[in-house]
Amino acid sequence: MELGNADTLTQRQKVLEKIRYSLATLEKGYWGLQKGDPDFRLDARYNTEEIRKLFKAANQHFFYITQLARELVEQTKLNSPQLKRTQQKLSKEVPPFVSYMQEIAFKYDEQATEIMLIGGAWLCGSPLYLSCCLCSLACLSFARLHAL
């Protein structure tokens, strides 16, 4: 993780800023997918029961990962044993969360494809298409957070 290699306060501040930004983006997108978000043009009505169940299962991982990310930001010592433990916990928690998010993205994609085939509608720019894209971006944000 990049944070563990930050030798100076300036380097650490830059890494922490990346973590804060990734965390804020992830939280806004994650909750927007579930509840809707006008900024991202997300409409929660597209969440089927199956997608809601997947989110419910993913929530436990999401809460733990965001808690761990906040702990990383609050670490005061560079290269401390506590920092390394937090990074290890985060490394273990990310893969199951990303798996749920990928499954959700696939479900959004299936819905979008079905609507396109049945209605012949072009979905680019529609809330369902954007949900699929944002879900994929959430996976990337977590991967980015994990890489820090």
| String of DSSP letters for 32-94 | HHHH-BTTTTB-GGG--HHHHHHHHHHHHHHHHHHHHHHHHHH--STT-HHHHHHHHHHHHHH
| SS3 label, residue 120 | coil
How many domains does the structure of the chain reveal?
A: 1
What is residue 71's predicted lDDT score, i.e. its pLDDT?
A: 84
Give the torsion sign (CA, 118, 121, 127, 133): positive
Q: How far apart are CA 148 and CA 145, in angstroms?
A: 5
Strand partners, 42: 37
What is residue 122's predicted lDDT score, i.e. its pLDDT?
A: 45
List the pLDDT tens digit at each of the 148 positions of the chain. 465 566 677 877 888 888 888 889 889 989 988 998 888 777 888 888 999 999 999 999 999 999 998 888 887 665 678 878 888 898 899 899 989 998 988 888 787 776 665 554 444 445 555 555 555 555 555 455 545 4
Q: Which two tokens stand for residue 104?
A: 């959700």
Residue type, 129: Y
Task: Give residue 102's domain range.
Answer: 3-147
What is residue 51's predicted lDDT score, i.e. its pLDDT?
A: 92
Burial (0-12, 13-18, 19+ Cβ within 10 Å), 103 = middle
What is residue 77's predicted lDDT score, i.e. its pLDDT?
A: 64
Q: How far apart are CA 47 and CA 49, in angstroms?
A: 7
Instruction: Tell if the pTM clears 0.85, that is, is over it.
Output: no
Burial (0-12, 13-18, 19+ Cβ within 10 Å), 74 = exposed
